[in-house]
Amino acid sequence: MFVSIFADFSLDHKTMANGFGAYIKSDRGSFKYSGNLKVRTRNTTDGELFSCVNALYLALYHGVCQKGDTVLIQNDCKGAVQKIKKGYSKKLRQMCRENNLKVTAKHVKGHSGYDTKRTAANEICDDLAKNAMRQQREELTNLLRK
């Protein structure tokens, strides 16, 4: 079965608060997710890559993606897309191997509105990522005030 995954990442460089958003869809269902990465990233490209890896994990966990599926991961960071294509993520390679997944990646133009279904899905992920980042930033700021 074909599974489509969109993922996006947001980072506040001042506080290092982060967030990611994902929109995952297949004939088995679809869902949106937002949260924070547990690891600190060195740069936004790595954050985008980790967001894509987390989105694939969530797709498997929730049963939208299953063994033997073909997965298209779409992201607005060309660097992350290239890293996925070249197999830079050990965790991604492991999930693909253990679940016999065929994963490809495609760049989607970011911050370009809701003109197409692809850009609309990316905008949704962008909003989810920003909201998760803002929430974490507020929590961090409140901790520093105490």
Domains of the chain listed by start with CATH number? 2-145 (3.30.420.10)
For range 64-84, the mean pLDDT = 97
95 has a pLDDT exceeding 70: yes
| Interval 7-35: pLDDT, tens | 999 999 999 999 999 999 999 999 999 99
Q: CA 19, CA 116: separation in Å to the nearest integer?
A: 24
Q: Which long-range contacts (CB under 8 A, 24 or more apart) does 46-50 make?
A: 46/80, 47/9, 47/11, 47/18, 47/20, 48/7, 48/8, 48/9, 48/75, 48/76, 48/77, 48/79, 48/80, 49/77, 49/79, 49/80, 49/83, 49/84, 49/88, 49/89, 50/9, 50/20
Residue pLDDT, tens place only, 99-132 = 999 999 999 987 766 678 888 999 999 999 999 9
Mean pLDDT of the chain: 94
pTM equals 0.93
Q: Check whether 42 has a pLDDT greater than 80.
A: no
Predicted confidence (pLDDT) at residue 49 exceeds the cutoff of 70: yes
Asked if the model's pLDDT at residue 146 lies above 70, the reply is no
